[in-house]
A and B are shown apart, each in its own frame.
Chain A
Amino acid sequence: MRRILTVLLFACAALLGVVTPAQAHNVLIGSDPKDGAQLATGPEKITLTFDQPVRQGFAQISVTGPDGSRWEDGKTAVDSQEVGVGVRPLGPAGQYVVGYRILSSDGHPVAGKITFTLTAAGPGTASQPAPASSAAAPQAPDLSAQAAEAAQNGGAGMAVLWIAAALVVLGGATVVALRRTRGPGAAE
């Protein structure tokens, strides 16, 4: 028993050395404009600040106006702890909701929202109420391109191939072995 514990502790230590480039669950610690701010003129850019660096890719920010129209402009950019997106000139006065969903550095998606109020109507008009899925769609093509590249370099693609092969071989062996044990086992 003691031998096993020693082995396990060593294994634990080895694993920690490999896996832990310190990763944590991100928490929103600040934003520009601030949550609940009252603004006379619309911001040109929304910046959200997290306590940890945010992972590239997967980050989305949306700005929704009082009438449900969308005001964010361009792609969401991730710069270490700060995630930002441009904003078109805002239109009607009222409450705007900034929604976000980012990939936390420990690998979990984190979603949330902040709100700010525009006190005076701006010059902008809601031109295109973007469908909700448009934020996710542009990521798909470059994702698969990157994945193909990764598979060529023998990354996860190779691992999946190895596991698939192991599954087939072991699966066959399991069926054979279990059938063999069940044969005499049924007699007892």
Chain B
Amino acid sequence: MTATVERAPESGTVRRLLAGGLVSGAVLAVLAATALTAEEAVPGIALPGPLVEYGLPVLRVLLDLAAVAVVGLSLLPKLLGFDEPERTEPVMRRARPLAVTFAWAWAVLALVVIVFQTAELNPGALPTPGMIAEYVDNVGAGQGMLFSAACALAYAGFGLLAVRFGEKVPAELRIVIAFFGLLPIPVTGHAVDSVWHDPIMISMELHVMGSAAWTGGLLTIIMLVAADRGLLARVLPKFSRLATLALVLVSVSGLVNGLATMALTQGVELPGAVFTSDYGLLVVAKTACVALLVPFAAHIRFRLLPRIAERQGTAVAAWAAAEITVMGLAYGVAVALTTASMS
């Protein structure tokens, strides 16, 4: 209906809208959730200052978003296919340096997060290299972050080779390294001690990988491919199947993880704790985010996709921007959830 002839100026606004929506949604959600779940002051115990208390979650969520961007950009070559290099190569030529940049951001943020985590454990003291080494040596969360940073750096290395040599660097290799870097992140979050620990951990890994593929894929497609209707007609249906799978995977694994973690923690009574504990409330908030995503996703899938497949102009970018903002909110809540108290 609307005139979509002038593509160039519009795509700039769309890009700002997407990135702005995702980042501001995530940061606002994490700040609100952190304020809600703030550790109550305990007399006689030094707690970390506001810089650490709010800085650490914000850095954590920015790290997640950088990782999401890297995963999305890695999936792009698989979604574009390799049949028509003259059409896909211009897109890929923009995607590859972007992937390297975001991998850098990911690695640096992971290292800064380690410093902040050390500061969180040593309130009132400025972290020294010795304290940081001690933290990484002793605490699994530090080792996980270090491993994630190493993967991000390895990705940056392979990404650079891809910038130089193009698709001769296998796309699968980059996808695997990017996902590998995601794996240790949930290990730094909550865990339960029971025979169900391993299944819950696997479901958590699936949750993280599913949400990264979903958010990252949608973000990259709308950012880099939406301007070319012919290409979008080919890529979006392919991605739509992946997204449907991710939606089911993410919502099921998320609910299972949240409820199982509460059920297996001593002193937490299940039906009541959902609405009384910080953890339970955040699980409810995340469930609400996913519920909110469904209508957006369904609109794109069932109303817009048939028209996109016929190469008609649609408002898909605006709908996707709304969807991605909600995803940002969910990421923000997720970061607060990893450290929220159970009781």
Contact = CB atoms under 8 A, between A and B. Distances in A.
Interface of A: 1, 3-4, 7-8, 11-12, 15-16, 19-20, 22-25, 27-29, 51-52, 55, 57-58, 60, 62-64, 68, 70, 72, 97, 99-101, 103, 105-113, 132-133, 135-137, 139-140, 143-144, 146-148, 150-151, 155-157, 159-160, 163, 166-167, 170-171, 173-174, 177-178, 181-182, 185, 188
Contacts of A72: 44
Contacts of B191: 20, 22-25, 106
Contacts of A57: 138
Contacts of B192: 24-25
A181 B164 CA distance: 8
Given A25-B265, A107-B139, A181 B163 contact: yes
B322 interface: no
Interface of B: 39-40, 42-47, 78, 90, 93, 96-97, 100-101, 104, 107, 111, 120-125, 128-134, 136-144, 146, 149-150, 153, 156-157, 160, 163-164, 172, 175-176, 179-180, 183-184, 187-194, 197-198, 201-202, 205, 209, 265-268, 339, 341-343
Contacts, number: 213
A4 B157 CA distance: 20
B46 A143 contact: no
A143 B130 contact: yes
B137 A163 contact: no
B234 to A, nearest CB: 17
A52 B146 CA distance: 25
Nearest to A57: B138
A55 B139 CA distance: 9
B45 A174 contact: no
23 contacts: A7-B176, A11-B176, A20-B187, A25-B192, A27-B265, A101-B45, A103-B121, A106-B141, A107-B188, A111-B39, A111-B42, A113-B40, A132-B45, A133-B46, A136-B122, A143-B122, A147-B130, A150-B133, A155-B133, A156-B146, A171-B104, A173-B160, A177-B163
